[in-house]
């Protein structure tokens, strides 16, 4: 027990408390010095009124929302197909593995692949300009704000829908087949059984998927950073809160206090939204008891 407590304090609790402390200072990385003066909540007030921070928050929510909705719809459809007794899809094991595969790839590998794929001399431009002749000139996807956003959203959806589908399949297989058999005897259609039996009984699993995806989406960093650089260019179009925090901590800013304040705000934002989601998804019986 003692080694666990030591490791827990050294690598989790102490860094957390130190981050909260730094967020209340004007600490910067300076040669030969460490720490800074106590400034209270000045960093938080400055950030909440800063257009760049507000843009990063909007981008983060937008990128998460537009990848979560299609991801969830696709995962639900696939999970329903994999577990359906009437559809009887063959080779479900292969399809599950194939859909889950993108989640096993490193983000840096995926970003490098799509940078090459969408580059000026990449396969997309070669086919559209050279082979098919649909475009007159090559399109610079990664220098267009809309194209970069669409690419990030697509990659996030592609990477995670397989894992979401696997989790939903596990939830659907735990539902008793007798419920569906009774509904079929009563003449219920497949669509009615899905919305009246499957979805209500999947509520705990859907809550888990929503919260984990939400927290992960609010901490989005790797794909937009690798595709669009530290500032989410062009025009900070995919700059996320985590990317802004990393920029403030690193050169040339070296603003540890400001970066720590962003981290604390992100922590409170994630916690607040997760609590709201849990409260909204509570069972009616639990709501009556409270």
pLDDT of residue 177: 86
Q: What is the mean pLDDT of the chain?
A: 87
Asked if the model's pLDDT at residue 4 lies above 80, the reply is no
* DSSP character string of the chain: -HHHHHHHIIIIIHHHHHHHHHTTB--B-BTTB----B-TTHHHHHHHT-HHHHHHHHHHHHHHHHHHHHHHHHHHHHHHHHH-TTT--TTHHHHHHHHHHHHHS-HHHHHHHHHHHTSTTSHHHIIIIIIS---SS---GGGSHHHHHHHHHHHHHHHHHHHHHHHHHHHHHTS-HHHHHHHHHTT--HHHHIIIIIHHHTHHHHHHHHHHHHHHHHT--HHHHHHHTTTTTTTTTT--HHHHHHHHHSTTT-BHHHHHHHHHHHHHHHHHHHHHHHHHTS-HHHHHH-
Question: 258 CB contacts (<8 Å, ≥6 apart)?
Answer: 43, 46, 47, 248
- CA atoms 46, 50, 56, 57: torsion sign: positive
Of 249, 98, 225, nearest to 156 (Cα)? Answer: 225
Q: In this predicted structure, what is the pLDDT of residue 30? A: 67
Apex CA 222: angle with CA 161 and CA 258, to 5°?
130
For residues 110-117, give the mean pLDDT: 89
Rounded mean pLDDT, 96-119:
87
pLDDT for position 41: 92
Average pLDDT over residues 49-56: 95
- Using the predicted structure, report yes or no on whether residue 236 has a pLDDT greater than 90: yes
Phi, psi of 25 (to 5 degrees): -125, 170
What pLDDT is stored for residue 105 in this prediction? 86
> From CA 111, how far away is CA 242, in angstroms rounded?
17
- In the predicted model, is pLDDT for residue 64 greater than 80? yes
Residue 238 has pLDDT above 80, yes or no: yes
Q: What percent of the chain has pLDDT over 90?
A: 41
Give the chain's domains with CATH numbers: 36-289 (1.10.3720.10)
Residue 136 in this model has a pLDDT that exceeds 60: yes
Which tens digit of pLDDT belongs to each residue from 147-197? 999 999 999 999 999 999 999 999 999 888 888 888 888 888 888 888 888
Q: How far apart are CA 103 and CA 163, in angstroms?
A: 7
* For residue 252, cis peptide bond before it (omega within 30 degrees of 0): yes
Say what the pLDDT of residue 220 is: 92
Label residues 211-226 b or e (16+ Cβ within 10 Å = b): bebbbebbbbebbbbb
**Threshold 0.95, pTM exceeds:** no
| pLDDT given for residue 253 in this prediction | 65
Mean pLDDT value of segment 112-126: 88
CA triple 232-253-236, angle to 5 deg: 15
> Does 222 or 281 have the greater pLDDT score?
222
The predicted pLDDT at position 206 comes to 92
* pLDDT at residue number 290: 55
21's tokens? 């402390």
């Amino acid at each position: 027990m003692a080694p666990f407590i030591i490791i827990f304090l050294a690598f989790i609790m102490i860094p957390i408390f130190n981050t909260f402390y730094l967020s209340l200072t004007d600490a910067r990385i300076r040669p030969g010095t460490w720490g800074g003066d106590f400034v209270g909540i000045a960093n938080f007030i400055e950030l909440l009124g800063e257009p760049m921070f507000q843009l990063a928050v909007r981008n983060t929510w937008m990128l998460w929302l537009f990848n979560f909705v299609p991801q969830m719809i696709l995962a639900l459809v696939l999970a329903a197909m994999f577990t359906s007794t009437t559809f009887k899809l063959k080779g479900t094991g292969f399809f599950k593995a194939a859909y889950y595969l993108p989640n096993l790839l490193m983000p840096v590998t995926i970003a490098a692949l799509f940078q090459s794929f969408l580059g000026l001399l990449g396969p997309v431009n070669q086919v559209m300009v050279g082979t098919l002749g649909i475009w007159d000139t090559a399109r610079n996807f990664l220098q267009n704000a809309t194209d970069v956003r669409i690419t990030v959203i697509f990659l996030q959806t592609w990477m995670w829908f397989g894992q979401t589908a696997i989790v939903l399949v596990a939830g659907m297989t735990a539902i008793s087949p007798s419920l569906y058999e009774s509904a079929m005897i009563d003449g219920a259609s497949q669509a009615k059984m899905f919305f009246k039996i499957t979805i209500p009984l999947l509520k705990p699993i859907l809550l888990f998927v929503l919260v984990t995806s939400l927290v992960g989406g609010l901490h989005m960093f790797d794909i937009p950073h690798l595709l669009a650089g530290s500032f989410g260019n062009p025009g900070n179009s995919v700059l996320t809160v985590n990317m802004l925090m990393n920029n403030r901590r690193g050169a040339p800013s070296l603003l540890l206090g400001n970066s720590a304040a962003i981290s604390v705000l992100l922590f409170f934002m994630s916690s607040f939204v997760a609590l709201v989601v849990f409260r909204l998804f509570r069972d009616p019986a639990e709501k009556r008891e409270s």
